[in-house]
Amino acid sequence: MKDMAKTYSPNEIEDKWYKKWEKNKYFAATLDNEKEGYSIVIPPPNVTGILHMGHVLNNSIQDTLVRWKRMSGYNTLWMPGTDHAGIATQNKVERKLATENLTKEDLGREKFIEEVWKWKEEHGGIITKQLRKLGASLDWDRERFTMDEGLSDAVKEIFIKLYEDGLIYQGEYMVNWCPRCTTALADDEVEHIDKEGRIWEIKYPIKDSEDYLVIATTRPETMLGDTGVAVHPEDERYKHLIGKSVVLPLLNREISIVADDYVDMEFGTGVVKMTPAHDPNDFEVGERQNLEILNIMTDTGKINENGGKYKGLDRFEARKEILKDLEELGLLVGSKVHNHAVGHCYRCDTVVEPRVSKQWFVKMKPLAEKALEVVRNGEVKIIPKRWEKVYFNWLENIRDWCISRQIWWGHRIPAYYAEDGTMFVARNMEEAKAKAKEKFGKEVELTQETDVLDTWFSSALWPFSTMGWPEKTPELDMFYPTATIVTGADILFFWIARMIMMGLYEMKEVPFKTVYLHGIVRDEQGRKMSKSLGNSPDPLDLIEKYGADAIRFTMIYNTSQGQDVFFSEKLIEMGRNFANKIWNASRFVLMNLEGFDKNSINKDELNLELVDKWIYSRLNTTIKEVNEKLEKHILDEAAKIVYEFLRGDFCDWYVEIAKIRLYNSNDEIGKKTAQYVLWDILEKGLRLLHPFMPFITEEIWQNLNTGKETIMLEAYPVLNNNKINKNIEKDFEYIQTLVSSIRNIRAEMNISPAKDLEVLIKSSVENELKVLEENSIFIKNLAKLSNLKYGRNMERPASSGFRVANGSELYVPLEGILDLDAEIKKITMQIEKIEKELAKVNGKLNNEKFVSKAPTAIIEREKKIQKEYEDKLSKLKANLESFK
């Protein structure tokens, strides 16, 4: 056996092992049909992104599943790749150009795209290097990028097919517009945030009358684009005005008064201004009422030439000027606070502007129907199940998807235009020109569509495009559909639903069988982690400080299925302490295997005692439960079960008991038995732990002289049901209860752990007496006893500690061990002190004035303190009685 370093140092082992794993291609999938395939495609991080705590959680979950399946005999493919992140990446490059006093327009489209590719080459590998630091066992030889040649071809093929099937169309409709990114956004790319705003009431004079209509609005600047005023056709207050006109304040433009059922008679004044170019509801009313669509804003959110004297002002500056002018004219009735949801761009947080624009759309309802069906019939299982309801609700109310973006970085839409506007959708210019020649009978000049596709369009193809589609590849045969997709619930619609739709549309199969949605990583206050809040730690700093294994284990251990994670750095201490415990116990085992050779052991010569049979029973119970939990994707419980077995059963109990036989020179068979069981349990335990903590398990396992290459290609422990014996476990639990009871009496009585004690155990249970007879040496050593007496007729000595352990009564004589009078006095003083403190807390909680006015958190804190005092008091009084 090799010597292990005295202290566990993750920095010394993690890089070493990852390089070896990758160099030897241990992560690589094969096209071997003899093994069942298991595949996961990575949610592609942004190519210019860096690792954050959400990535740590997501990839730790995926890697645990992949390593477990790989060890369980599956041919595993974890597909790596990155996303070109159209808007985000273009913004980064534009900001870089701005430092050089340049814009993308200064460079022109081609040169700008060259700059983006340079940026990608320079920064694109950062996050993949960081994933290696985490231990992610991705098949790096298959790494893809959404803008690589193969995936770009896949995007064109799907676009053309959808277009030819009538599922992609171009039209002028209301879209969400980001003035910062100067592009359209899909509905689900808009984050609605509740904000306190105002609602203003404005007089609109009725033409040829002294009267006026009062109209309420939250966006006064949009009145510049009003082309009508609507009332309900049944509203008696306004029936006589239908068909007449009002004069639009500030611009003095006449606009019609129309009747439409959309208007709510009970809300506000029952009169609604109509701005069809800047409000989705007004757009629909405008279409029905044949109102003019008048755009009043530029791409960047400034007022255009249709806004009169306000031309050139930013929309929010224009609002201030408009309100000031209305007040001066006596047309502003007043305003009041109004809370409402305001749409923000999910990329840059700018307030979006609804705007009519010519865009490309995908018809979603025909695709959504099938995507609904596969979740309803169980072909796709969403975990946690509660998210199914949200999924159904979104797809049942789905709107067409705006897929065009007015940026330069991305998949350019494969549409080409002749001078007369005739459009040809084709894979390339040559194909488009051939189609044009066939139509016009001659060669014509064509120009390509300038818009690019929404980044999520290419991501929707990810499970099959990454495996070589549109070619028929062995990877598709072997690994599609994939098994599991792991992602945050926040992109259920952006990505998951669209992948299901596209998989069913093109491949005629679901893209994955299971959707595992994990929660969001938040700070201790429940806030989502972000750079702007300064509450997001750098995972690489944490890895440097604690090691990747500790972080991975901590994140999985503390993440209940589908629940958000409340992260603090202090949590990682648990993972680090666990790693240290495993390291130290393993080092002890290896140091005590002198003369041991697993290959020369004759198992028939071993003498397995209760403790040995118990640890094997616990091992197999653990194997059974861990595999069951992993199969159900309950990873936190699987981690807890492994933790309890290795840290508690193995390190705290078995290793401690094994020392008795290891150091007993008179029992050679006992020593050999202890050595063999220590080696065997440790080896299997490391394999159990490996998917969760790959680095430390590989390092220790390599010291066990197994003669094998790597732990990650060894079999995951398999249940041996014959070794589970609940009676054995019950017998050993009796020993644990006895030892723990003695230790508790020591702690409560302040008896030094080094002080030898005498213990008496009274029991009339035959099996308990048998366990005591056969295992007294272990109990004496574990509890540090000078003497252990047991039997049916033991009497409790005066002044003794007392516990009940199953069917036994346990007595610890205290006379001669402690100064009883001094202990009684000390405990009495402690009781008096705590009673005073408890009285203060009770006084507060019994005071109606305090309870009615104090915040809930303060009351809960006081109740917690009350409970702690009551518990302490109860224990002290019990101790006092035992002394008396």
Task: Name which residue leads in pLDDT, 144 or 857.
Answer: 144
3-class SS of residue 435: helix
What is the model's pLDDT at position 526? 84
Instruction: Tell me which residue of 660, 680, 679 sits closest to 670, measured CA to CA.
Output: 660
760/812 Cα distance (integer angstroms): 7
Separation between Cα atoms, residue 189 and residue 193, nearest integer Å: 13
- Residue range 821-883, CATH number: 1.10.287
The per-residue pLDDT for 531 is 62
748 versus 168: the higher-pLDDT residue is 168
Q: CATH fold of 183-354, please? A: Isoleucyl-tRNA Synthetase; domain 2 (3.90.740)
Question: Which secondary-structure segment (H or E) carries 801?
Answer: strand 800-805
Q: Is the pLDDT of residue 90 over 60?
A: yes
Among the listed ranges 260-274, 738-752, 795-809, 818-832, which one has the minimum average pLDDT value?
Answer: 818-832
Contact (CB, 8 A) for 205 and 212: yes
pLDDT at 750: 80
Antiparallel, parallel or unpaired: β 512-518 and 785-791: unpaired
Q: How far apart are CA 159 and CA 426, in angstroms?
A: 9
Predicted confidence band of residue 881 (pLDDT cuts 50, 70, 90): confident
Whether the CB-CB separation of 433 and 443 falls below 8 Å is answered with yes
* pLDDT at residue number 852: 84
Let me know: does 221 contact 295? Beta carbons within 8 Å. no
Q: Residue 352 has what DSSP assignment?
A: P
With a cut of 90, say whether residue 530 has pLDDT above it: no
- Chain region(s) in the chain for CATH 1.10.287: 821-883
Residue at token pair 């393993």:
586
Q: What are the strands, taking DSSP E only, across 693-767?
A: 757-763
Spell out a b/e string for 93-103, using b for 16 or more CB atoms within 10 Å of the CB, else e.
bbeebeeeeee
pLDDT at 880 over 80: no
Q: What is the mean pLDDT of residues 565-579?
A: 93
531 is in an annotated binding site: yes
Residue 446 has pLDDT above 90, yes or no: yes
**In which residue ranges of the chain is CATH 3.30.2320 found?**
729-818
Average pLDDT, the chain: 92
Picking from 40, 28, 47, 149, the residue whose alpha carbon sits closest to that of residue 468 is 149
Here the tokens at position 222 are: 């949009």
Q: How far is CA 93 from CA 116, 122, 656, in A?
A: 6, 12, 61
Quick one: tokens of 56? Answer: 């740590």
For the chain, helix (H) and strand (E) counts, in that order, are: 29, 29
622-680 pLDDT tens trace: 999 999 999 999 999 999 999 999 999 999 999 999 999 999 878 889 999 999 999 99
How far apart, in whole angstroms, are the C-alpha atoms of residue 47 and residue 120? Answer: 7
Residues of the chain with CATH 3.90.740.10: 183-354
Tell me: pLDDT of 724 over 60: yes
pLDDT value for 2 = 63
- For 518, the 3-state DSSP assignment is strand
Which pLDDT tens digit goes with each residue over 448-495? 999 999 999 999 999 999 999 999 999 999 999 999 999 999 889 989
Query: Is residue 529 over pLDDT 70?
Result: yes
Spatial separation of the C-alpha atoms in residues 324 and 298, rounded to whole Å: 23
Pairwise CA distance, residues 18 & 126, whole Å: 16
Report d(CA 147, CA 90) in Å as an integer: 14
In whole angstroms, how far apart are CA 456 and each of 83, 438, 499, 502, 853?
9, 34, 9, 12, 51
CATH 3.40.50.620 domain span(s) along the chain: 10-145+154-159+464-544
φ and ψ at residue 594, rounded to 5 degrees: -60, 130
Relative to beta strand 75-79, strand 81-82 is: unpaired
Question: Are the CB atoms for 113 and 409 separated by under 8 Å?
Answer: yes
- In terms of pLDDT, which residue wins out, 873 or 56? 56
What is d(CA 757, CA 815) in angstroms, rounded to the nearest whole number?
Answer: 11
User: Helix, strand, or coil here: 532?
Assistant: coil
- Mean pLDDT for the stretch of residues 286-299: 93
The winner for highest mean pLDDT among 179-188, 517-526, 640-649, 871-880 is: 640-649
pLDDT of residue 468: 96
820: pLDDT strictly greater than 80:
no
* CA–CA distances in Å: residue 301 to residues 226, 229, 304, 755: 17, 24, 9, 80
DSSP 272-330: EEE-TTS-HHHHHHHHHHT------B-TTSBB-GGGGGGTT-BHHHHHHHHHHHHHHTT
Q: Would you give the DSSP letter of residue 805?
A: E
The dotted CATH code for 545-724 is 1.10.730.10
Is residue 588 exposed (0-12), middle (13-18) or buried (19+ Cβ within 10 Å)?
middle
pLDDT band at 884 (very low <50, low <70, confident <90, very high): low
Confidence of residue 827 (pLDDT cuts 50, 70, 90): confident
Q: What angle do CA 538, 542, 548 make, to 5 degrees?
A: 120
| β-bridge partners, 457 | none
Distance from C-alpha of 691 to C-alpha of 711, rounded to nearest angstrom: 10
How far the first Cα of the chain sits from its last, in Å, is 55
pLDDT tens-place string over residues 540-562: 999 999 999 999 999 999 998 88
Q: Burial, 678: exposed, middle or buried (Cβ in 10 Å; 0-12, 13-18, 19+)? A: buried
CB burial of 205-233 (b: ≥16 within 10 Å; e: otherwise) equals bbeeeeebbebbbebbbbbbbbbbbbbbe
Q: Is the pLDDT of residue 258 over 90?
A: yes
Tokens standing for residue 636: 């936190």
| Position 109 pLDDT exceeds 80 | yes
* Whole-number Cα distances in Å, 530 to 7, 51, 92, 374, 537: 35, 12, 18, 35, 9
**What percent of the chain is modeled with pLDDT above 70?**
98
Do 41 and 476 touch, CB atoms closer than 8 A? Answer: no
Q: What b-and-e string marks burial along 599-626, b requiring 16 or more CB atoms within 10 Å of the CB?
A: eebeeeebeebbbbbbbbbbbbbbbbbb
Backbone dihedral angles phi then psi of residue 215, each to the nearest 5 degrees: -120, 135
Distances (CA, A) of 54 to 60, 348, 436, 472, 560: 10, 19, 49, 35, 15
Q: Of 541, 542, 546, which is closest to residue 10 (Cα–Cα)?
A: 546
Average pLDDT over residues 89-93: 89
How far is Cα 769 from Cα 756, in angstroms, rounded to an integer? 23
What confidence tens digit (pLDDT) does each residue in 744-761 have? 888 888 888 888 899 999
Distance between alpha carbon 661 and the CA centroid of its chain, in Å? 47
Neighbours of 820 (CB within 10 A): 15
Q: Give 528 or 361, the one with higher predicted confidence.
A: 361
Rounded-to-integer distance, Cα 489 and Cα 869, Å: 42
Residue 1 pLDDT greater than 60, yes or no: no
pLDDT surpasses 90 at 585: yes
CB 134 within 8 A of CB 543: yes
**Whole-number pLDDT of residue 779:** 93
CA gap 111, 133 in Å, rounded: 35
Does the domain at 729-818 match CATH 3.30.2320? Answer given as: yes
CATH architecture under which domain 10-145+154-159+464-544 falls: 3-Layer(aba) Sandwich (3.40)
Rounded to 5, what percent of the chain is helix, strand, coil? 50, 20, 30
The C-alpha atoms of residue 460 and residue 495 are separated, in whole angstroms, by: 6
Three-class SS state of 102 = coil
Residue predicted with more confidence, 238 or 340: 238
Give the helix ranges, DSSP H, for 108-176. Answer: 109-123, 126-134, 149-164
Dist CA 627 CA 624 (whole Å)? 6
Instruction: Give the angle 794-797-802 at the CA atoms, nearest 5°.
Output: 85
Give mean pLDDT, residues 775-789. Answer: 92
